[in-house]
Amino acid sequence: MQFGKEYFEFSKNDQGFDMRCCGGWQEQFAEMLIDTFDLKPTMTLLDVGAAMGTNAEGLRRKNMKCYGADISQWYVDNCPFPLIKPKMGVIVNNKIPFKNDMFEFVLMHQTIEHIPEADIYALLKDIKRTIKKNGILYISTVNPPAPGYVEKDPTHISCFERSKWHQIFIECGFEIWDDEFEPRLLTHKLAYDSQWVNFMLKK
């Protein structure tokens, strides 16, 4: 399955998720990030795996300055948010299309599990290049499937145990800061109920 129009249709028709819509969920998500990570309007943020820019738009509506990056040119071309679209860029060969030390905070929400393991290292290292010193990368992903579970999303190809993720992040030069931020994150009903696997990494 190709990311872009094909995955957009799959998400809309099979999972009930329309990537063009930014509403109450995205605004709750933005509020959760702002509170957990003490984000300020003076900061510059990046959403990696931004698809059509809904999370970036949700953050913009909370007065945050957020850019977006995705591997799909189709997503970027079809971004429906006029103030976000000029801040969107396409990831090519695991390279983030933004300059060094640009972002205080980077988000990868339900994205990393879609990336082939062989590409994860290069992408994370390039994300690190774009983060300012002491900046934070927040990753949420899914648990490895339980025995007998049939995965409904065929693009979930990198679903690892927490220990393996930590090893990958350390190899890519990040510090693990889960203990600092995750308790605060889980005070938010959205995060608690969603049962994401969360990682907070510091440059």
Average pLDDT (75-98) is 97
User: For the segment 33-48, what is each residue's pLDDT rounded down to a tens digit?
Assistant: 999 999 999 999 999 9
The count of structural domains within the chain is: 1
Residue 180: which domain range?
5-144+151-202
CA distance 71 to 39: 26
The percent of residues above 90 in pLDDT, for the chain, comes to 83
Q: For the residues 59-78, what does the mean pLDDT come to?
A: 97
Q: Which residue has the higher pLDDT, 23 or 92?
A: 92
Read off the pLDDT band of 127 (50, 70, 90).
Answer: very high
CATH number for the domain that contains residue 80: 3.40.50.150
Distance CA 19, CA 22 (A): 8
* CA 78-120-123 angle, 5° bins: 60
DSSP string covering the chain, please?
Answer: --TTHHHHHHHHHHS---TT--SHHHHHHHHHHHHHHT--TTSEEEEET-TTTHHHHHHHTTT-EEEEEES-HHHHHT---TTTGGGEEE-BTTB-SS-TT-EEEEEEES-GGGS-HHHHHHHHHHHHHHEEEEEEEEEEE-PPPPTT---S-TT------HHHHHHHHHHTTPEE-HHHHHHHHTTSHHHHHHT-EEEEEE-
Banded pLDDT at 145 (limits 50, 70, 90)? confident
Residues 150-200: tens digit of each pLDDT: 667 889 999 999 999 999 999 999 999 999 999 999 999 999 999 999 999
For 106, counting Cβ atoms within 10 Å of its Cβ (0-12 exposed, 13-18 middle, 19+ buried), the class is buried
What is the band of 28 on the pLDDT scale with cuts at 50, 70, 90?
A: very high
- List CB contacts of 115: < 8 A, sequence separation 6 or more: 123, 157, 158
Average pLDDT score, the chain: 94
Whether pLDDT at 146 is above 80? no
pLDDT, tens only, 90-100? 999 999 999 99
User: Would the pLDDT of 9 be above 90?
Assistant: no
More confident residue, 145 or 181: 181
Q: Which two tokens stand for residue 173?
A: 């030069």
